Structure 1
Amino acid sequence: MPTITLKIDVDTYRGSREGTPNLVRLLTQHQANATFLFSLGPDHTGWALRRAFKPGFFQKVSRTSVVEHYGLKTLMYGVLLPAPDIGLTCAEQLREVAQAGFECGIHTWDHVYWQDNVRNRGAAWTQKQMQKSAQRFQEIFGFAPKTHGAAGWQMNPYAFAELDKLGMDYASDGRAQLNDDGSLFEPEIGPYRLAIDDKILHCIQMPTTLPTLDELLGRNINGSSIELDNIAEHILKLTEQPRDHVFTLHAELEGQKLAPIFEKLLIGWKAQGYQCTSMAEYAQAIAQQHTELPSRPLHWAELPGRSGELIVA
């Protein structure tokens, strides 16, 4: 049976308190599994306003109604309002996800700070950020983190090396290259090991193979505008041919105003014969195949519908 591995990025204080419980209820209702990846430090979402000077930023904001989905208060954190500490103030909500039977892992310490800086930072800065996340995770859940999914699909060589040092066997820190319609540029892309400076790292990378909702909404694809009433159907067309996929969703989007679209996807994927799984289940399936995974170099590229470069396999 083909699988859709559901990777849920929880970026913000609001996403932790409101979107995450909504997703737990929805997934439980549809008997779907998933992995929740948490931001564990301060919510400095307001700092993202600096991206206004980056190419493509305003186009993406106008398409995806950032204020509507994230809320004006969230966009003021770190600017006009103090940044709430997610790991301290939302610890009980985070533990409830694990208690409900869902895998939990690390997204980042400070989402905006990491996403906007990590590519050009050195070993000391990178290790400090990741070790703070790992320590906070241990304090909240009582066990060491087993997986990771990078904020904004942004990493650097030191960060990947730190995953090995932290003993993580699998992560989802990058993307597969996509065509303009969201289909895979390389149809056979799948899990791989990262090769950096002629060293093949241990931690398996599971690249996201489908476009996210915010990358599709409002775009004109093949002569049709992708809107709320047809976006689920567009994604389901991308999964018509059975193969394993990784889909990234966000507690702030699919856990709130876009929840009806996510529910359509859950129903549609079940009808297509897919099983929705966690990253841990996907990693177990990979191990059972007993096949040698390919290695790939660290590579950056742009993806349709998203501004700036990401880590892309």
Structure 2
Amino acid sequence: MKRIALKIDVDTCRGTLVGVPALIDLLQRHAASATFFFALGPDCSGREAHKSSPSRHYDLTTRLSGLLLPAPDIGARAADSMRQTLAAGFEVAVHAWNRVLWERRVLSADNAWVEAEMAQAWRRFEAIFGAPPLAHGAAGWRMNRHALRLTQRLGLCYASDCRGKYPFFPVIDGEIVRCPQIPTTLPTIDELLLLGAASADQAVEQVIEASTTISGDHVFTLRAELEGITFCDAFERLLATWQEKGHRLVALRDLLAARNVAQLPRHTVAFAEIAGRTGPRMLQGRAFLEE
């Protein structure tokens, strides 16, 4: 029986207020678990409207946020929706403070900027949930060396900051980071649409095929703004099909629950473009010290 962990990125104010409650209802009806990664600060999604292809699936208000309209403070306006997620039994974690700015700057940002962004997200998360976060999922799978170091320094149980095949300890520039990574293993619906899928339903078929033909457990990343609103019907069909195949739909923490984390393999990380997205993303590389 395969386990498929559902990683839900919540990028915008509307996604938090509208997409998250819809996803909670959908997941509960299917007895599925998931991990919600929340953006906690300003919603500047409008600034990427002409640069980030998934934005064409967003509603008009979201596409103007932070551009022609003031950037709403997601954590201030949507804290109740976030707490509802935890109260419903789902795992909650940090996505970013300012998601758009993180994706744009982190690859070349200095240490002070990275620390300030993560500190703001940590403080807001703790103010909303009453406890510090135990996991981090980088916006756009974009990180740098210092951000990786901070996942260890902040005492996280795990992070999900990259694309790859299975859980591992990351190694960057020869430095082992003692915070395991649980990478996204499957393509996303919006990526497949950009690569030529004629519809969300066709993209779902491709996700199902990938999850079937590639062995092992999987992590599927979805967005509250897309699968929770625009692609809701297609996502429900994906859930139903996985369950018909006998797969367990779990939170990311469940992939580590029965493992000896200390024995996870060590892999270098690389930065490269992936199909369906522009710009470098963090990837699971070769086994460390592999000949």
Fold equivalence (TM over 0.5): yes
Q: Tell me which residue corresponds to 1:212.
A: 188
Q: Tell me which residue corresponds to 2:221.
A: 248
**Residue 144 of structure 2 is aligned to residue 173 of structure 1:** no
**Residue 204 of structure 2 is aligned to residue 235 of structure 1:** no
How many Å separate the matches in 1 of 2:20 and 2:238? Answer: 18
Question: After TM superposition, what 4+ stretches of structure 1 lie above 3 angstroms from structure 2?
Answer: none
How many Å separate the matches in 2 of 1:274 and 1:164? Answer: 31
Aligned CA distance change for structure 1 residues 159 and 84 (closer, same or farther; 3 Å): same
How many Å separate the matches in 2 of 1:275 and 1:118? Answer: 34
Task: Name whichever of 88-97 and 300-309 sits farther off.
Answer: 300-309
**Aligned amino acid, residue 281 of structure 1:** D
1:111 to 87, 92, 99: 99
How many Å separate the matches in 2 of 1:126 and 1:228? Answer: 35
TM-score scaled to structure 2, two decimals?
A: 0.93
Q: Tell me which residue corresponds to 1:184.
A: none
**Residue 280 of structure 2 is aligned to residue 304 of structure 1:** no
**Aligned amino acid, residue 202 of structure 1:** R
How many Å separate the matches in 2 of 1:158 and 1:120? Answer: 11
Instruction: Report how many aligned residue pairs link the two structures.
Output: 283
**Residue 247 of structure 2 is aligned to residue 274 of structure 1:** yes
**Aligned amino acid, residue 35 of structure 2:** T
1:159 to 141, 144, 147: 147
How many Å separate the matches in 1 of 2:114 and 2:98? Answer: 12
TM-score scaled to structure 1, two decimals?
A: 0.87
Q: Tell me which residue corresponds to 1:29.
A: 29
How many Å separate the matches in 1 of 2:151 and 2:50? Answer: 29
DSSP-derived class of the 1:93 partner = helix
How many Å separate the matches in 2 of 1:91 and 1:49? Answer: 25
For residues 123-160 of structure 1, the C-alpha deviation after alignment (integer angstroms, 9 at most, x for no partner) is 11000100110110000000110001000111111111
Q: Tell me which residue corresponds to 1:186.
A: none
How many Å separate the matches in 2 of 1:39 and 1:27? Answer: 20
Return 5+ residue gaps in structure 2 as ranges: 285-291
Q: Tell me which residue corresponds to 1:183.
A: none
**Residue 173 of structure 2 is aligned to residue 197 of structure 1:** yes
How many Å separate the matches in 1 of 2:272 and 2:155? Answer: 28
DSSP-derived class of the 2:216 partner = coil
Question: In the alignment, is the contact (CA less than 8 A) between 1:38 and 1:107 conserved in 2?
Answer: yes
Aligned CA distance change for structure 1 residues 107 and 218 (closer, same or farther; 3 Å): closer
How many Å separate the matches in 2 of 1:308 and 1:5? Answer: 26
Deviation at 1:197, TM superposition (A): 3.3
Question: In the alignment, is the contact (CA less than 8 A) between 2:188 and 2:207 conserved in 1?
Answer: no
How many Å separate the matches in 2 of 1:87 and 1:231? Answer: 32
Aligned CA distance change for structure 1 residues 13 and 116 (closer, same or farther; 3 Å): same
Q: Tell me which residue corresponds to 2:287.
A: none
Q: Tell me which residue corresponds to 1:12.
A: 12
Question: In the alignment, is the contact (CA less than 8 A) between 1:169 and 1:202 conserved in 2?
Answer: no
